[in-house]
Copies of this chain bind each other. A is one copy, B any other.
Amino acid sequence: MKLYTYFRSSAAYRVRIALNLKGLAYDAVPVHLLKEGGQQLKPEYRAVNPSALVPALDDGGTVLTQSVAIIEYLDEAYPDMPLMPSDPLGRARVRSLALDVACDIHPLGNLRVLKYLVRQLGASDDDKNQWYVHWVSEGLAAIEARLAASPQTGRFCHGDSPTMADCLLVPQVFNAQRFNIDMAQFPTIARINAACVELPAFADAHPSRQPDAE
C-alpha cells in the first residue's frame, strides 16, 4: 500500500493511525502542501485525487480518497484489529463522533480555507486565528458533551479499545494544541487523547515522526 501523505495534514494523520492500529505496512509518498505553490495542486497529484487533497491510499492499484472512507475500507478489507464496533448503534455512534470532527470542525480550518480568508477576504492574522479557535472550540465542546454524557465512553471514545473515532479525535486535538486551545475545557477529550498517545500506533503516526517532517 502507498499512502499519499503530508506530515502535518490532520486527515493523513488519521489514516496513519488506522494503518498502524491494524498493523498494515505502507509506503509513505509525501505531498508537500506548501512547497512549489502546493504539490497537491499539480496535475500529477490531481490525476491521483481530483480533489487535490491528501490523503489518498493506493491499495494494489486502486486509489481511495477521503480519510473516513479509507479507514472504513481498511476495516472491511482487513478485518483483524477492528476499528468499528459490531452493532449498528455502536457503529453509528463511532461514525458520528468521527464525523463531528471530519464535517463540523476540520473543513473550516483547512489550509485552503485559511488561505481564502486571508487572500480573498482580507482577514488579518488575528481574524484567522479567532476563526480557527472558534470552530475548533465549538466543535470540541459538542464532542465533550457527547462523550461526558454517554455510558459507552470508556478508556477511549467508544469502550476500552481504540476505534475510528479516536483516529479522528487525536489529530484534531493535536491541531487544537498548535493553536493554544486550552484542553482543560474538555476533560474527557483530554483524558482519551492521553490514553491514545501513549499507544505506539498513535505515537508513530505523529507528524513529528514522519519521513517528511520538518
Contacts and interface: CB of A to CB of B under 8 A. Distances in A.
Main secondary structure of the interface of A (DSSP, over half): helix
A91 B116 CA distance: 33
Interface stretch (A126-134, A155-163, A177-185): A126-134
A72 B100 contact: no
Interface string A109-133: 0000100110011010001001100
Nearest to A64: B92
A66 B123 contact: no
Nearest to A146: B50
B121 A95 contact: no
Contact of A104 (B88, B107, B121, B146): B107
Interface string A131-147: 10010000101100110
Nearest 4 pairs of A and B residues by beta carbon:
A69-B95, A50-B145, A66-B96, A73-B92
Interface of A: 46, 50-53, 62, 64-66, 68-70, 72-73, 76-77, 88-89, 91-93, 95-96, 99-100, 102-104, 106-108, 113, 116-117, 120-121, 123, 127, 130-131, 134, 139, 141-142, 145-146, 149
